[in-house]
Structure 1
Amino acid sequence: MKRVTAHRRILAAALCFTLPFGLTACGDDVPDETTRYVGEAASYLTAAEEDGALGADAVADTDATQQGAMADEDVSGLETEPTDDGQACDFSEHRRTVLAKYDDDGDGALNARELRELKADVGERRDTLRPRLAQLGRRARHWAFWRVRWAFDENGDGALSAEERTALVDAMEARCQRLRTERLEQHDTNGDGTLDEAERQAAREARRARWEARRQERLGTYDANDNGVLDAGERVALRRDRVEAAQERRATLLATYDTNGDGRLSTEEALPLRQDIQRRIIEGRDAEG
């Protein structure tokens, strides 16, 4: 456990330089349960905004069924034009969105019943994350967020402790801030720190152009009848290749981290991989949005 504690200190130090002044990650305050769960739901909304392979190396701890489900989500995302309002990532706004959704009595806080509803909707695993939360995002990316959760579940018990959930939220908030900075650097042409309508339109067009480039590349490989869309059989071929790529990546990761060669990652073997994914999340890597 000493390695975990030391790693937490390193992450906290990194977050202090990343997050705006005054956030919990840089102080001694411990967030309460409501703050943690609202933050986790806000983290899900942040993950849903992205196109990149967020936490992709968590595939090391998946089976064939999970790999197939991830491929289904990936293929669906590749087939659907992204919905983007052009705004920069705003974690505080995500928090407000979650709070407004679950604050049924409108008093600005979550009572015990409202918090229970949020906790139930967030769930601990992909198949317990309920539609009400997913509908708050621009699109559903359940497996992308499952991979984030996996990275922060350092003891491998399938659930997040209060400390693990806090670390996840802090990291996703730091990621959102980095992605926000990147979008402002790219599209805030007048340098006022916000995106006006023209700048948001430019951001939307740039994202759509990236999506269209990937779409054309995909069509070039899988559109066998050259009709400009992927038919059912062509989507099956794409899904098959995505699964095969996941299996190859899993084999590569096991070759690195499965030190006893038993074909699976123990909690100790998985810890360095989880921590590497955590760093990539904080650094804003594997992102395109």
Structure 2
Amino acid sequence: MIEILTPSELDRARDTGRLVGTILQTLKNRVKVGTNLLEIDTWTKELIEEAGAESCYVDYAPAFGNGPFGHYICTGVNDAVLHGLPYDYALADGDLLTLDLAVKLRGIASDAAISFIVGEKQRAEDLKMIEVTQRALAAGIAAAVPGAKIGDISFAIGSVLTAEGYPVNLEFGGHGIGSTMHQDPHVSNDGRAGRGYTLRPGLLLALEPWIMEDTSKLVTDKDGWTLRSSTGCRTAHTEHTIAITDTGAEILTLPKN
């Protein structure tokens, strides 16, 4: 299913996106060395409920997962890049943490992710991976104009990632979003320009470049959810939900000022 939102629905999408971005920024500000992943999950639940919103994750049970997910946020540490199931772990100085959050408010969902380093022990390689995913996301957003193709976005993202020498996994990528969290079209993190669905105003997309330092192969953790790099290398993930408008792409998941 591909949804095209009406102007009133797009206004609601802006509210949801702002909430997601604000929650992620709040969590980032709270996280410190010693913070437990389950504590982050509790904070997320409280922030979602305070806003009168609902989690897209807690009852999420897709075919590929060991569902339902049962938590309110994905927390990936170091080699965990996607669908990180929160567990009893206290963050250490230098951990690379990815927070991925999807929320629904007034019937419209929004999805975003951030990666950052906990504490003071910052590896240059980690900082580079985070920056490259951010730059790839910016390139994908710039390509998301009315009349362009999904392949134009994939090509823009992939060009940044591959130019920096990172292998690109095509199993999981961006997606359409609207009244539900995951919709068509799928947006691979690499692809051929000029191919795929034509972008139209009112379309919402969650774009999410993610990389692993030295491999494109994922393995599933014993929890049945968390996807890790097959080599144990570090990973990074950046995501925004955008709306296609008459003049280009509008980023919805920026935090409230």
Tell me the TM-score range normalised by the shorter chain.
Answer: under 0.3
> Whose strand fraction is larger, Structure 1's or Structure 2's?
2
Higher relative contact order (CA 8 A, sep 6+): 1
Which has more radius of gyration?
1
> Whose helix fraction is larger, Structure 1's or Structure 2's?
1
